[in-house]
Amino acid sequence: MQFIQKLYAYFDTLERAKVYRYIIVSVVGTLLLAGAGLYYVHRTIQSLQSELEEINDLRSSRVQSILRRIEHVKQQRTEVNAILAEDEAFKIGGYLDEKLDLLGIATNKKEETATQVVLDDNYRESVLSVKFAEITMKQLTELLNIIEQNKRIYTKALEITRSTKVPRTIDVSLTIATLQPRTATSE
């Protein structure tokens, strides 16, 4: 309370022109501070809006990318289903034995292991691992070429080592696989 009385007494002793100057300086100072505050708020809002637009553009491009991938997967699934429908009784072991007889390397097959893996989306993968001994590189490339030409079969692994018994031949461990439709009896 005393402070207000002292302030009132101080202004009473001042000349009227000085009081008006103080009031004008105070109003101008307040307006400048308010203007600076408004400028800062406006600038911050613009910055946040531009960041929001960038985030929305990025999100939109990611969504479009995901939608394209989903469409690509659907297209591939349709192609796989069409290939599987061509020969529902396909057996990877029988197919490989037929091609080995054709190439004359059936006697070089030393070991064969077949497994099946149940996959999601109504498929199961039939995997066949075969070991060959003492075949030539030409025979291997012909076999791989035949396997590659069949859309139903794909190569999962290939390991080649030099044969220790017969010169200029190789020992091969080959793993191939195919997809088959998963049925109620195969689960």
Task: Please state which CATH class domain 89-186 belongs to.
Answer: alpha beta
More confident residue, 113 or 85: 113
Q: What value does the mean pLDDT take over residues 82-105?
A: 89
pLDDT for 139-163, tens place per residue?
999 999 999 999 899 999 999 999 8
Buried b (16+ CB within 10 A) or exposed e, 99-131: bbeeeebeebbeeeeeeeeeeeeebbbbbbbbb
Q: What value does the mean pLDDT take over residues 39-55?
A: 95
Tell whether the model's pLDDT for residue 185 goes beyond 60. Answer: no
Q: What value does the mean pLDDT take over residues 68-90?
A: 88
Strand, helix or coil for residue 69:
helix
Domain positions in the chain: 2-62, 89-186
Q: What value does the mean pLDDT take over residues 90-108?
A: 92
